[in-house]
């Protein structure tokens, strides 16, 4: 019986051997923003952000994903997120990345769509750039990642945070998302990026049915040959199905994470690290049974 997703080559990140065939890796979400949909403002100060990062590492996070600009969808959470300048984004994330890198040897990811922010974050101690636009907003990110010998997460998003949840439309959501991710990977490879992770972008320009379909057919994405990251944590489709608020979506998140891992996810991006680490351990054990 096949174990996990053995066709994905191991990565070397921050001198660490990352073998995706052995287990699922956890990316802990750290929003250094006042307006993120789930925890906006909670970790806006440097001290609070670093303390939360250390806590997530203690709970089992392999990667801390630091974001300074919210992508909260307009229309679902009030007026949606507010665009900020690169200067403001740098002001928010660089002190946090520097402090985390001194407090822990955890792998740090910078969640940004700006090449300037990506470059400064990598210089400050990050090893991964997580681009939710899949290079659509700033192709220069690929050049920065290649130059710094870093890793790149390419996510799919239809539209922008301002428009993405107003009537997202696909003829075949799996095929179209897969093709767009393949195109983004080609751009990154041409720029010289060696380590690419793909993310189908749950909740980013998708309705409930689109999200469920992508999770159900996640194995389709493993055929591209890149590690697959998925972020279902506390997302709107869980709230819609269960009719619960953001802070009551742990069980729904756990269910979606379990199915995603069984269907080929290599990295899960989550808010509730302790709980989802336990889910991943159990699902990995089931997946690895011979």
Helix, strand or coil, per DSSP, at residue 233 = coil
Catalytic residue among 235, 249, 277, 287: 235
CB 37 within 8 A of CB 70: yes
Beta-bridge partner residues of 108: 64
What DSSP string describes 217-257? TTHHHHTTSS-BEE--TT-HHHHHHHT--GGG-HHHHHHHH
User: Residue 54: which of 273, 280, 285, 276 has the closest Cα?
Assistant: 273
Tokens 């997946």 identify what position? 287
Is residue 235 flagged as an active site residue? Answer: yes
Alpha carbon 155 to chain centroid, angstroms? 8
Catalytic residue among 92, 120, 249, 269: 269
What whole-number distance in Å separates Cα of residue 9 and Cα of residue 220? 17
What whole-number distance in Å separates Cα of residue 153 and Cα of residue 111? 9
**Cβ count within 10 A of residue 159:** 15
Rounded to 5 degrees, φ, ψ at 270 are -140, 155
End-to-end distance of the chain based on CA atoms, in angstroms?
Answer: 6
Is residue 83 flagged as an active site residue? Answer: no
Q: Is 218 exposed, middle or buried (0-12, 13-18, 19+ CB in 10 A)?
A: buried
Degrees, nearest 5: CA angle 187-173-198: 40
Residues designated catalytic: 235, 269
């Amino acid at each position: 019986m096949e174990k996990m997703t053995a066709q994905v080559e191991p990565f070397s990140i921050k001198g660490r051997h990352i073998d995706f065939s052995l287990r699922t890796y956890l990316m802990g979400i750290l929003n250094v923003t006042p307006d993120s949909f789930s925890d906006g403002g909670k970790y806006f100060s440097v001290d609070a952000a670093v303390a939360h990062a250390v806590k997530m590492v203690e709970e089992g996070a392999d990667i801390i994903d630091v974001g300074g600009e919210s992508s909260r969808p307009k229309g679902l959470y009030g007026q949606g997120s507010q665009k900020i300048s690169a200067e403001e984004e740098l002001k928010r994330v660089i002190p946090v990345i520097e402090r985390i890198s001194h407090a822990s040897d955890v792998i740090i990811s910078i969640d940004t769509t700006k090449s300037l922010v990506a470059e400064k974050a990598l210089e400050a101690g990050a090893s991964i750039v997580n681009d939710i636009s899949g290079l659509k907003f700033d192709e220069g990110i690929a050049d920065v990642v290649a130059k710094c010998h870093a890793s790149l997460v390419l996510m799919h998003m239809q539209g922008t945070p301002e428009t993405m949840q107003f009537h997202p439309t696909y003829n075949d959501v799996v095929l179209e998302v897969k093709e767009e991710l393949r195109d983004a990977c080609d751009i990154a490879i041409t720029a010289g990026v060696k380590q690419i992770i793909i993310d189908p972008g749950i909740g980013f320009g998708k309705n409930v049915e689109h999200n469920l379909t992508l999770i159900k057919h996640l194995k389709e994405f493993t055929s591209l040959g890149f590690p697959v990251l998925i972020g279902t944590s506390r997302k709107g489709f869980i709230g819609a199905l269960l009719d619960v608020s953001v802070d009551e979506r742990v069980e729904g998140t756990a269910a979606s994470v379990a199915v995603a891992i069984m269907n080929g996810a290599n990295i899960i991006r989550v808010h509730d690290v302790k709980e989802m680490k336990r889910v991943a351990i159990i699902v990995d054990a089931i997946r690895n049974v011979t």
